[in-house]
Each structure stands twice: as C-alpha cells, then as structure tokens.
Amino acid sequence: MRIRLSSERKARSARHGFTLLEVMVGFFLIGGMALTLYVGMSQGFAVIQVARENLRATQILQEKMEAIRLVSWDQINTPDFVPRYFTAPFYAADDGSAESSNGGGLTYTGQVTISNVPFSESYSSDLRLVVAEVAWRSGDVLRRRSMRTLVSEYGLQNYIYDPQ
C-alpha cells in the first residue's frame, strides 16, 4: 500500500488559494456588515435616549397635574398661587447643585397656564382650563409636550382638601 497524499495535497492546496479580488470582496462585505451593525446600534441608542427624554417630560407634566388636582378652588383662582414657570432636571433626584448627577445636562423648562374654559355653557364659570407645557432641547431639536385638564369648582379637590 502506497500513500502519496501528502505530496499531492501540497500541490493542490498551492493551486487553490484566494485571489486578490476575492480577498478584497470579502473585506468589503465584512466592512459593510460592520458599518451596518454600528449604524444600527447608534440609531438604536439615539431612539432610546429620545424615548427616555419623552418619558421624563411626561413624568414632569404628570407631577404638575397631580399637584393641580390637590389645590382647592379658591387657591386655583388665586393669581400666582400655582407657580407659572418652572424648570426640572433630566434626573429626578437632581437638586440643581453643582455636585448633582445632572452635571449641567438636559433641563426642562415649563409653564402652567390656568384660564377660563373656551366655551360658553351655563356651567363654564365653574370650570378652569389648566395647560401644563414643557420644552427641552435634545441635540439641535427643540421638543415640546403638553397636558390639559379641566378643574371643576365641585370636583375631586373637595373630597381631598378640607379647609376646616
């Protein structure tokens, strides 16, 4: 029995290598896939950041609306009882100090407007329209969110707030 595999295999493997063109196509394919993966991940992180900013804006607006729900009818009609302008940090635990976790980052500015309702029903004098708005700059884009609610003289605050 004779074995001639080693010499034949060496000769065959030397003839069946990759050409320069095949290597270049392979590098371009791998580079394109790596670039696509990088772009997809960076876009994913950007979408997550915008979603976090929107969620924090919603939390701030909800906090303002919950505070309005606890105010009595007389207080809601008192000018400047509810602060008209406010700011809030991105991180809720941030107290605004220099050593805070926000580090001078994203800050939300907002406004609460209390006005008469925009309709003329018989009960319209017993209602107030409350609009809370918040704005922030995300990169080069100015983003805004708002919430609206109606407050009634005979509403929920009468069950929660007892002036006696």
> What is the tens place of the pLDDT at every residue in 118-154?
988 888 888 999 999 999 998 899 999 999 999 988 8
Say which residue, 94 or 145, is predicted with more confidence.
145
Does 12 score more than 90 pLDDT?
Answer: no
Q: What is the mean pLDDT of the chain?
A: 84
> What is the tens place of the pLDDT at every residue in 26-63?
999 999 999 999 999 999 999 999 999 999 999 999 99
Whole-structure pTM over 0.75, yes or no?
A: no
- What percentage of the chain reaches a pLDDT higher than 90? 52
**CA-CA distance, 10 to 47, in Å (whole number)?**
54
Does 90 score more than 60 pLDDT?
Answer: yes
Q: What is the dihedral of CA 121, 123, 125, 130, to 10 degrees?
A: -90
**CA-CA distance, 112 to 104, in Å (whole number)?**
24
**CA-CA distance, 143 to 158, in Å (whole number)?**
36
